[in-house]
Amino acid sequence: MGIDHTCIYVPEAKARECLRVYLEALKPLGYELRQQYGEFIFGLGSSHDVVANYKPADFWVCGTKSVPENPAHIAFRAKGTTPRLFLSAMVVADDFELDRPAVDAFHAAAIQGGGEDNGPPGLRPYHSSYYAAFFKDPAGNNIEAVCHDAQ
């Protein structure tokens, strides 16, 4: 059993700006805007997922008047053989098969879309093939794409 979806909370005033950054950053991973409720709640999901006539969203950006004091850290898996999802400070979401170039494209798109660089694509010390890139969204959340496969 896995996690169906996750949500980050951002200030209402920055919700659309955050959405623009996420749409650019997650495009290389196959994500698109799938649902919207009201002015400040946006659901993104893989363009490959369709359930009957429903377009599921697994990553939500929710504008709210009151945001948590501690920003979130969310990591999208760019390639891997085993789904993993960590909760609390970090979320690793499983994705369809992509590779290190997808991590590079994710980072470039995020920065071009208005995200703040928080670590360029490259190997990290967590294990020998942990290849990741990081950016901060306009609300300060640390967003990561990671590939665990050796190249």
Q: Residue ranges per domain, the chain?
A: 6-147
The residue behind tokens 């010390």 is 125
| Chain centroid, CA 62 distance in Å | 14
| Segments of the chain assigned E as strands | 6-11, 31-37, 41-46, 59-64, 73-79, 90-93, 116-117, 122-123, 131-136, 142-147
Quote the pLDDT of residue 66: 86
Mean pLDDT of the chain: 83
Measure the CA–CA gap between 70 and 137, rounded to whole angstroms. 13
Q: How many CB atoms lie within 10 A of CB 20?
A: 15
User: What CATH number should be reported for the domain whose range is 6-147?
Assistant: 3.10.180.10
Give residue-wise pLDDT tens across range 35-85: 999 999 999 998 877 666 677 889 999 999 987 777 788 888 876 533 333
pTM exceeds 0.85 for this model: no
Least Cα distance to 148 among 120, 134, 128 occurs for 128
